[in-house]
Amino acid sequence: MVLQPSAAGDPARHNLDPHLARYAARTEGMTASEIRALFAVASRPEVVSLAGGMPNLAALPLESLASQVQDIIAQDGLVALQYGSAHGVPKLREQICEVMALEGIKAHPDDVVVTVGSQMGLDMITRLFCDPGDTVIAEGPSYVGALGSFAAYQARVVHVAMDDDGLVPELLEEALTSAAAQGRPAKLLYTIPNFHNPAGVTLSVERRSRIVEICRKHNVLIVEDNPYGLLGFDGQTYPALRSLDPDNVVYLGSFSKTFASGLRVGWVLAPHGIREKLVLAAESATLCPPTLNQLIVSRYLDTHDWKGQIKKFRESYRERRDAILAALAQHMPQGCTWTEPEGGFYVWVTVPEGIDTKAMLPRAVTARVAYASGTGFYADGFGSRQMRLSYCYPTPERIKEGVRRLAAVLESEMELVQTFGTVQRRPVSGPQTPGPDTA
């Protein structure tokens, strides 16, 4: 009804999005994650997807859950369907403290804030701490959703390498010193100590106190992201960084991998002052997390053998981990290396020089197998020789078939490289972070 002016006053004929000139500067960092773009393709049934990180929920007691939820709505519906506080349901916050106690954490329910998945916790913590240009230290590689939040707040990510024992303390200290020397001291260390996504490694117990000390010394707040901590295949757990230094660690937890991801119930445990600001930030983000979902988790923890259920999940994932490691050993061509996870969902694979996993992906999907190429897990362009394989969702048989297909694609790719050579891509910035490889 009115003629459409462009933002600058010129006819916007060649501009597909007429709002382009209006966006905030932070939107420049918002790009579709490679993994997300992949999901559409990889979800075709004939493709074995080793790409996504969807938990396998088949072991859940659906009938019994269904009747519990029916009861919650019938008996307590006027609470379950009503607004709650941004802080979260008090009883659930108490139960969350019991869950965290399994990893040595002593916490007060007041310092727990329930969030819409731990992704929201991550987003809120970044909102509270990161001005544009602020430096965040993260493992290299790191969780793609964390990199997305850091980008949304225009933070600068500096990766620090891992080895089989997780984040390397000496390299962390080096990176912190170097960032400070550049006049851009780090604000946060973002770390996934247990069964790392995507690297599949775990921070050794010896290193934990060392990491905590280094961050204290350099005045860096630790953000400990721990969605997989209870999914160690032998039932082993590790002391949370939070248990070693309650005042300088913000801890992120989630029921997405130990119960049900579709409920979107996660939490943040934070020192008192931070927690107060967190509630305010959460209130302006979503008013409050869904009440019904919190009551469902609370009832589940109350009435189900949730530790027994986690054991079932662990066993199902261990079976799949065994399947993928056996298949990798059997099929992968010489020159490929990978991590050997003792929990969680992921194997991190490094392929021979000359092969670009992102460029290879379309050929893999044509061969009916999908993975997540490594560059998505770095903020600095690194990762082109890496890929993440998720063994959490497909059956062991499908996993083996997927690895067989992947190995065949890799072999023909390597033949091409040997015949014609390939210009290998190098990271344009950031440290030359090696993937955490084991032979």
Among residues 401, 65, 59, the alpha carbon closest in space to that of 231 is found at: 59
Task: Please give the residues from 302 up to 341 whose contact with its own copies meets the rule CB under 8 A.
Answer: none
End-to-end alpha carbon distance in the chain:
66
Q: Does 1 bind its own copies (CB under 8 A)?
A: yes
φ and ψ at 277, to 5 degrees? -65, -35
Stretch that binds its own copies, among 165-173, 262-270, 347-355, 382-390 (CB under 8 A): 262-270
Question: Binding its own copies by CB under 8 A: which of 16, 181, 428, 439?
Answer: 16
Task: Please give the residues from 19 up to 78 whose contact with its own copies meets the rule CB under 8 A.
Answer: 19-20, 22-27, 30-33, 36, 39, 54-55, 57-58, 60, 62-63, 65-67, 69-74, 77-78
The one-letter code for the residue type at 35 is: I
Question: Binding its own copies by CB under 8 A: which of 140, 141, 148, 198?
Answer: 148
Q: For residue 233, how many other CB atoms are within 10 A of its CB?
A: 17
In whole angstroms, how close is the CB of 171 to its own copies at the nearest point? Answer: 20
Q: Does 260 bind its own copies (CB under 8 A)?
A: yes
Q: Please tell me whether residue 163 adopts helix, strand or coil conformation.
A: strand
Question: Binding its own copies by CB under 8 A: which of 274, 310, 364, 410?
Answer: 274
- DSSP 8-class letter at 93: H
Question: Binding its own copies by CB under 8 A: which of 236, 286, 303, 429?
Answer: 286
Task: Please give the residues from 95 up to 134 whose contact with its own copies meets the rule CB under 8 A.
Answer: 116-117, 119-120, 123, 127-131, 134
Among residues 323, 426, 329, the alpha carbon closest in space to that of 382 is found at: 426
Question: Binding its own copies by CB under 8 A: which of 284, 303, 429, 438?
Answer: 284
Stretch that binds its own copies, among 232-240, 284-292, 377-385, 399-407 (CB under 8 A): 284-292
Question: Binding its own copies by CB under 8 A: which of 82, 330, 429, 438?
Answer: 82
Q: Quick check: 277 and 306 in contact, CB under 8 A?
A: no
Q: Quick check: 4 and 13 in contact, CB under 8 A?
A: no
Among residues 238, 250, 253, 252, the alpha carbon closest in space to that of 208 is found at: 238
Cβ proximity to its own copies: between 59 and 408 the closer is 59
Cβ proximity to its own copies: between 64 and 178 the closer is 64
Cβ proximity to its own copies: between 70 and 429 the closer is 70
Tokens of 267: 């939490």
Q: What single string gives the DSSP state of each residue in 385-411?
A: TEEEEE-SSS-HHHHHHHHHHHHHHHH
Size of the site for its own copies (CB under 8 A): 102
Question: Binding its own copies by CB under 8 A: which of 178, 182, 219, 438?
Answer: 219
Question: Binding its own copies by CB under 8 A: which of 41, 171, 180, 285?
Answer: 285
What sign results for the dihedral spanned by CA atoms 113, 118, 124, 129? positive
In whole angstroms, how close is the CB of 380 to its own copies at the nearest point? Answer: 18
CA distances from 51 to 169, 218, 373, 396 (A): 30, 37, 9, 15
Question: Binding its own copies by CB under 8 A: which of 42, 50, 84, 328?
Answer: 84
In whole angstroms, how close is the CB of 252 to its own copies at the nearest point? Answer: 13
Q: Quick check: 97 and 112 in contact, CB under 8 A?
A: yes
Characterise 431 by phi-psi region: left (phi > 0), alpha (psi -120 to 50), beta (else).
beta
Task: Please give the residues from 183 up to 212 whose contact with its own copies meets the rule CB under 8 A.
Answer: 187, 209, 212
In whole angstroms, how close is the CB of 350 to its own copies at the nearest point? Answer: 27
Cβ proximity to its own copies: between 66 and 101 the closer is 66
Length of the chain: 439
Cα–Cα–Cα angle for 306, 312, 316, rounded to 5 degrees: 145
Q: Residue holding tokens 């000359």?
A: 354
Q: Does 142 bind its own copies (CB under 8 A)?
A: no
Task: Please give the residues from 167 up to 186 whose contact with its own copies meets the rule CB under 8 A.
Answer: none
Question: Binding its own copies by CB under 8 A: which of 11, 44, 79, 307?
Answer: 79
